[in-house]
Amino acid sequence: MSNRTALVIGAGGFTGRHVMAQLSGEGWTAVNARDHGLDLTDPASISRTLDAAKPDAVINLAAIATLDVTERDPIFAVNAFGVLNLLEALAARQFRGRVISASSAYVYGPVQSRDPIPETQPPAPHNLYACAKLLAESFCAMHAEKLDIVVTRPFNAIGRGHRDTFLVPKIVRHFRDRAPRIELGNTAVARDYTDVRDLARMYTALLDAKDPPRRLHLCNGQAVSIADLIATLSELTGHRIEVSVNPAFIRANDVLYQCGATDGLKQLGYAWRYTLQDTLRWMLDE
């Protein structure tokens, strides 16, 4: 169906830019909330944006995305109470469209098992970022009777357009430049990586999904270590790189292994398009 408007909050971020493109490609009018001056910490700006954009659906991807929090007030103001401000404004307007609120897989904290984390796993956040995200989930649950809300818990997205201050883009850049060496932290750390183009398709598919899970993972269901990622890049480029471990890059409370179960996505019939090799080739050619 075309001629529908989706308001995207956080449209200028890494995932948001790809979601905007995906929505437009599927016939939606994708509106960047920032173009209307929306600020999640300012309820009046939220009201003005909703009245101006008149969206049929809302996707909130906005967040202060850092695990190294030095000031706690801003991260709770945006990542938690900003979500509450948005939900209250939507409920006041008796909004009937779908609302997608992005949480994070970091709400689970460290897990001991190497099995994929089920979507029923009790959260156990171990940093302020995750605590703020879990509080936002609670606000969504409080409004579940008034609004059609889906809470997503995305794992790690990778792809073009990600700043190389993040780990995977940094490693890809070193291979693209055929650098002789790279400094990293713990290369045994394993994550569940999803191509950001697949992630954008997941968000767009959720807007029309009938009776979706109210909370679901956005992930691949496979964990890849940094060492294995480097080995894959070596195979793709034919370049060998010397890895040196810098203790300054190792977080004391880092999550060493994270992999998500994909039951919710499979229930929706979602089909992944991109393998890790596909994504890394795409990034290498950027």
What is the model's pTM? 0.94
Asked if residue 149 is part of any domain, the answer here is yes
Asked if residue 284 is part of any domain, the answer here is no
| CA nearest neighbour of 9 among 49, 66, 52, 67 | 49
Kindly give the parts of the chain with pLDDT less than 50. Answer: 1
Report the Cα 165 to chain-centroid distance in Å.
17
CATH of the domain at 153: 3.40.50.720
Segment (H or E) for 148: strand 148-154
DSSP character for 116?
P
Residue written as token pair 């202060």: 64
pLDDT at position 67: 62
Asked if residue 236 is part of any domain, the answer here is no
Number of domains in the chain: 1
DSSP character for 68?
S
- The rounded distance, in Å, linking the Cα atoms of 240 and 180 is 8
pLDDT at position 69: 61
pLDDT at position 251: 74
Asked if residue 110 is part of any domain, the answer here is yes
Residue 68 structural domain: 4-158+193-219
- The rounded distance, in Å, linking the Cα atoms of 124 and 142 is 20
- The rounded distance, in Å, linking the Cα atoms of 231 and 31 is 40
Asked if residue 137 is part of any domain, the answer here is yes
